[in-house]
Amino acid sequence: MIFTDTEMRARRANTAFRQLMGFPEGELIGRSPTRQPGVSRILDTQFVERTLTQQVMKEGVPVVNVPLELTVAGQHRVAAWTAYRVSDNGRVLGAVSTLIDITDEARAARELRQANTRLDLLQRAGNEIGTTLDVGHTAEELAALIVPGLADRVVVDLIDAALLGEDPAGAGPQELPFRRYAVLDAEAAGLVNYASGEQFIVPVTGQPARVFLHGEPILASSSDELSELGLPDAIVRPLLERGAHTLIEVPLTARGVTLGVVALSRSKTPAPYDEADVRLVCDLTARAAVHLDNARLYSREHDAAVTLQRSLLPREVPRVAGLDIAWRYQPASQAAEIGGDWFDVLPLDGGQVALMVGDVTGHGIRAAAIMGQLRTTTAALARLGCPADEILVQLGGTVAAHGDEAGATCVYAQYDPSSGRCQLTSAGHLPPALRLPDGTTEFIDLPPGLLLGAGQGQYQAADRQLAPGSILALYTDGLIEQPGQDLGIGLSRLARALSDGPSGTMDELCDSVLASLAPRPRDDVALLLARCTAAR
């Protein structure tokens, strides 16, 4: 306890207060806190005098249990400060202050807040990281979670070779090529060293490489420790110039595969990192690494499915007398939607030609493999002169052999340029579109036919006479379907795109239709256009 007069001079102080301050009574009595340099080194004397003068003595409003930060014998302490005005018959005499050491309570409260903050971060990580199957976006989500709550700056560096499933050491035994996938700074204008997307080389003796290769986090609790970590000068120098005084680096490891390194640093936040922060960061990055690995594996499957699918589709279509043909295959913009769309153009005996477009249900490599079987089977049967209904029955058996979950739709058109007669057969596929010579577009109504693989069924054909200048359009559902949109709307948009499209080459019309209906399709798109060119 201590009593101060209206001039802020100490008049009485008990033994406990003198021991707390570390001064004999003679050095305290008669002096204000700001006139006692030793006291100023212990607590914020400016704040204490201002509060006592303006609030306690002038306004009569007491101070109750206000935390005061103290530095006593080099140790950080916290005291609860309470102060009341002392008066005699309305005359203010001064103020009595009490200090109660609450260091242990404050430490427990701080640790509880930190624990709650850590739990909140881990809970948010489950909701905010891994919302997509994109490696770059997942890295950015991790960075956004860390800054500013846990760091003033964070970078996420991955190794391209690890993302591709290759041996990172293959780039050279003495160096590792990292690529910066995400960088976030609390001060937007303060981006330093490598920018997002930039690749940089780190020697295997460098600290990021050691973290990557050995899978052990590192902690620098001071700027001196940060300087001694052995980081590349291009990394550490800008950090120190920004005032970074503490750093954590942890590996991004999932399912036994290390994908990269995450580095956190603080410059504006005064508290240094400790071992509890390292454990928290390791927990966060472990969760993020699983999502990054999921995105990596999904991207590999996507690329494999696209490669397989493209290898099974025709690289070019044959030239057919009487038809001007163009085609487009557009893989889905989302990895999950790679499917089994296909098309084919098959020259037949007698100058006739078969045009075909189909779609295997499901997605991924399995759908692409089934698609390849169907295309091969169709080509073999068509060249043997089998009629369309028999071909579709055989295709149905091929699909059924893959199990109850397999299915496919297709439309088969056999065209005779000499007569202009086109015979069309459908197995549950969308109706072909026909742009007439006058520019209007209609859809050809076909007997629906049974979905391939759904059981035994008969497939009936419909005949249509195609006039010179007519354009037959065969397509898959990825071209016209949109989530929550009625199928009729998609068909109307297709009719409009065909009617309003350019009247030049078929390639120009293909590009125009795709740009109008499916610039970034959610599902695969196969589009086959054939314009009748021979005179009848």
Torsion of CA 132, 134, 140, 146, to 10 degrees: 60
Q: Please, are residues 493 and 516 in contact by the beta-carbon 8 Å criterion?
A: yes
Residue 270 clears pLDDT 90, i.e. is over it: no
Domain(s) of CATH 3.60.40.10: residues in the chain: 313-532
Q: Class of 313-532 per CATH?
A: alpha beta
**Using one digit for the tens of pLDDT, what is the confidence trace for 357-413?**
999 987 777 887 888 899 899 999 998 999 999 999 999 999 999 887 889 999 999
Instruction: Decide if pLDDT at 480 tops 70.
Output: yes
Which phi and psi (to 5°) does residue 314 adopt?
-65, 135
* Chain centroid, CA 476 distance in Å: 29
pLDDT value for 132: 86
Residue 504's Cβ-count burial label (10 Å; 0-12, 13-18, 19+) is exposed
Element (H, E) at 175: strand 175-185
pLDDT level of residue 335 (50, 70, 90 thresholds): very low
Query: Is 334 a residue whose pLDDT tops 80?
Result: no
One-letter identity of residue 210: R
Placement of tokens 């065909």 in the chain: 498
CATH topology for 110-303 is Beta-Lactamase (3.30.450)
Q: Which residue has the higher pLDDT, 337 or 443?
A: 443
Q: What is the pTM of this model?
A: 0.60
Q: How confident is the model at residue 456 (pLDDT cuts 50, 70, 90)?
A: confident
The answer on pLDDT for 210 being more than 90 is: no
Judge whether 457 and 395 are in contact, CB under 8 Å. no
b/e code 166-203 from CB counts within 10 Å (16+ = b): eebeeeeeeebebbbbbbbbeeeeeebbbebeeebebe
In sequence order, the 6+-apart residues with CB closer than 8 A to the CB of 376 are: none
Q: Which part of the chain has CATH 3.30.450.20?
A: 2-101
- Does the pLDDT value for residue 536 go beyond 50? no
Q: Tell me the pLDDT band of 94, cut-offs 50, 70 and 90.
A: very high
Ranges of CATH 3.30.450.40 domains, the chain: 110-303
Tokens of 2: 């201590």
Return d(Cα 529, Cα 327) in angstroms, integer. Answer: 6
DSSP assigned state of 428: B
The CATH number of domain 2-101, selected from 2.30.40.10, 3.40.30.10, 3.30.450.20, 3.90.470.20: 3.30.450.20
Model confidence at 193, in pLDDT bands (50, 70, 90)? Answer: low
What are the C-alpha distances in Å from 209 to residues 170, 174, 178, 200? 14, 10, 9, 12
Say which amino acid occupies 45.
T
Residue 310 vs residue 511, higher pLDDT: 511
Q: Rounded to an integer, what distance in angstroms lies between the CA atom of residue 412 and that of residue 328?
A: 17
CB 243 within 8 A of CB 268: yes
Query: pLDDT class for 446, splitting at 50, 70, 90?
Result: very high
Give the 3-state DSSP-derived string for 474-518, with helices as H, strands as E and coil as C: EECHHHCCCCCCCHHHHHHHHHHHHHHCCCCCHHHHHHHHHHHHC
Q: pLDDT: is 199 or 137 the higher one? A: 137
Indicate the SS3 state at residue 14: coil
- DSSP notation for 204-228: TTSHHHHHHHH---EEE-SHHHHHT
Sign for the CA dihedral angle at 448, 452, 458, 461 comes to positive
Name which residue leads in pLDDT, 231 or 479: 479
